[in-house]
Amino acid sequence: MTSPFTAGDLPAVTLDVDVLVGRYADRPGPTGDPRRVAEVLAANGIGRAAVANLRAALFDVPTGNDETAALAGPRVLPVGGVDLRDPLGAEREVDRLAERGFRAVRLFPDEQRVEADFPSVRHVARRAAAAGLVVLTGGDVRRFWRPLRGTTVVFLDTHFYHLGDFVVAARDEPGFHTSTRLLNSPDALETVAEHLGVDRLLYGSRTPWYEAVVPRLRLARGNLTPTDVAAVAGGNARRLLEPIA
């Protein structure tokens, strides 16, 4: 007897833009041990990941980012974190991250209970852009599009319910990109590809908190071409985060 649920057609992921190590104090779930996260990524066919650290987001920014930097290697592209509750510290950290060679900074507005119109968000986004960092951000795209105008940004929480808002905002913002994690309606990926181009789509799993297989399945069983699938599964992320000098 074999299982009716099979998936031998999943695409390899060459760069996942949404992976976390570290823990949340306010919820059950994994502890985010880097070795365990690496095992989950490997088991899900994810060859390389942009990894940020919840220690930086929730407790201590410099030591969290230093931990993340130490993970750098063939399978990990370190992503810095800042605390939007401390915009003065965040601007210092953005500069430090750029000096250390980080390519991206991740914002955690939901976890830090920071709203889109707080001055910190606009300030840190501008500072990151000036430092040449790509912004990866959580938060409701219908609100966070505004302070992130003019930046190169990947919205990590775009839900398909809000896809139309992302599309109309992104038409005027060539730097706006979205993770595929929550674009799990039957035509969301294809809608972005049609209205904005497939280069705006980046595979994101939020390993180890979400099932990494779901956005891979969506890519495998949708209507994008194999070339487009490869771009979403890592090519677009490499272009943004690891451009060839």
Distance of alpha carbon 13 from alpha carbon 24, whole angstroms:
26
CB of 43 to another protein, least distance (A): 10
* Beta carbon nearer to another protein, 28 or 243: 28
The residue range among 96-104, 105-113, 117-125, 160-168 that interacts with another protein, by the rule CB under 8 A, is 160-168
Nearest to 17 by CA among 181, 147, 142, 216: 181
Three-state secondary structure of 59-84: CCHHHHHHHHHHCCECCEEECEECCC
Among 36, 42, 113, 161, which residue interacts with another protein (rule: CB under 8 A)? 161
Q: Report how far residue 213's alpha carbon sits from residue 241's, in angstroms, rounded to the nearest whole number.
A: 23
Of the candidates 158, 150, 47, which has an alpha carbon nearest to the alpha carbon of residue 19?
Answer: 47
Cβ closest to another protein, residue 99 vs residue 172: 172
Q: Taking the complex as a whole, how short is the minimal distance between the CB of residue 208 and another protein, in angstroms?
A: 6
**Other residues' Cβ atoms within 10 Å of the Cβ of residue 242:** 15
Neighbours of 151 (CB within 10 A): 19
Helices in 83-144 by DSSP H: which ranges? 87-99, 109-112, 119-130, 141-144
Rounded to a whole number of angstroms, the minimum distance from the CB of residue 97 to another protein is 28
Site string for another protein, 196-215 (x = CB under 8 A): -----------xxxxxxxxx
Contact string (CB under 8 A) for another protein, positions 17-46, x = contact:
------------xx----------------
Q: Which stretch binds another protein (CB under 8 A): 125-133, 147-155, 187-195, 231-239?
A: 187-195
The residues that touch another protein, with contacts defined as CB under 8 A, are 1-7, 29-30, 159-161, 163-164, 167, 182, 184-188, 191, 207-218, 221-222
